[in-house]
Chains A and B, each alone.
Chain A
Amino acid sequence: SYVLTQAPSVSVAPGQTARITCGGDNIGSKSVHWYQQKPGQAPVLVVYDDSDRPSGIPERFSGSNSANTATLSISRVEAGDEADYYCQVWAGSSDHLCVFGTGTKVTVL
C-alpha cells in the first residue's frame, strides 16, 4: 500500500516561512492535496493539485511537488496558521484509493 510520511511537528517564528514536507514513492507523479485542521474543526483544503489554491485561501499558502517529496509552504506565518496539516493523494492500481499523510503539527513560536 502507498504510504505518505510527514514530520510530526514543525516550529516557526511569526513572519517566517514554514515548510511542511510529504514523502512518498515517486509522489511527483501524483497530484497532492493539502488540508489544514485546527483543533475541534473539520479539515479545510488549502492547496490542491500540487500548487493550486481554492478561493479564499491566502497567497501565503503555496505547494510544490517533485520526485519523492511534496512541500506545502506557508510564508509570513501568522499565529492563526497554527494547526495540523495533512497531505493526501489518490493511489492504487486505478488511483481510486485515498491516502492521507501522517500529519504535521505547525507551532507558531
Chain B
Amino acid sequence: QPQLQESGPGLVKPSETLSLTCTVSGGSISGSSYYWGWIRQPPGKGLEWIGTVFHGGSTYYNPSLKSRVSISVDTSKNQFSLKLTSLTAADTSIYYCARGQIIVGPSAMNYWGQGTLVIVSS
C-alpha cells in the first residue's frame, strides 16, 4: 500500500511562490501504471484539481491555474512537487497529493495524502 505525505510551508506571503513536495513510500513513483496529482480545498469548500503529471513527465493543469502552476517529478527521491506562483489569499487551502491508476486512460485517484494547510497572509 503506497503512502503519500505532503510537506512544505504552512504560511506564505502574498505574491510569493508556494513549493510543496509529496513523498511517496511503499511503491515506486516511476511506474507507468500510475499518475500523480495535486488537489486543493479552500476551507469549507469543495475539491479543486490543480494538475497531474504522467509517466514520462507530461503534465496537465487546471486551465484556471495554468499560468501559475508547475508540477515535476524527482524519481531519485521518489517525490513529486508543486510550485504555485503569485499567491493571493484565494490560494489559502488544504493541499492534497494523490496517486491515480492508468487503465486505458487516467482513472480514479485511489491513494491520497493527509493534506497540508497553506495559509497565504502577510
Contacts and interface: CB of A to CB of B under 8 A. Distances in A.
Interface residues of B, number: 23
B106 A88 contact: no
A36 B39 CA distance: 15
A43 B105 contact: no
A100 interface: yes
Given A96-B52, A96-B60, A98-B37, A45 B46 contact: no
Contacts of A97: 49, 60, 62-63
B96 A49 contact: no
Contact of B112 (A31, A42, A92, A96): A42
A103 B110 contact: no
A86 interface: yes
Contacts of B47: 35, 37, 43, 86, 88, 100, 103
B108 A48 contact: yes
Contact of B106 (A45, A95, A100): A95
8 contacts: A1-B63, A42-B112, A42-B113, A44-B112, A88-B47, A97-B63, A98-B49, A100-B47
Nearest 7 A-B pairs (CB), nearest first? Answer: A48-B108, A33-B108, A98-B49, A42-B112, A103-B46, A100-B47, A96-B60
Interface of A: 1, 31, 33, 35, 37, 42-45, 48-49, 54, 84, 86, 88, 90, 92, 95-103
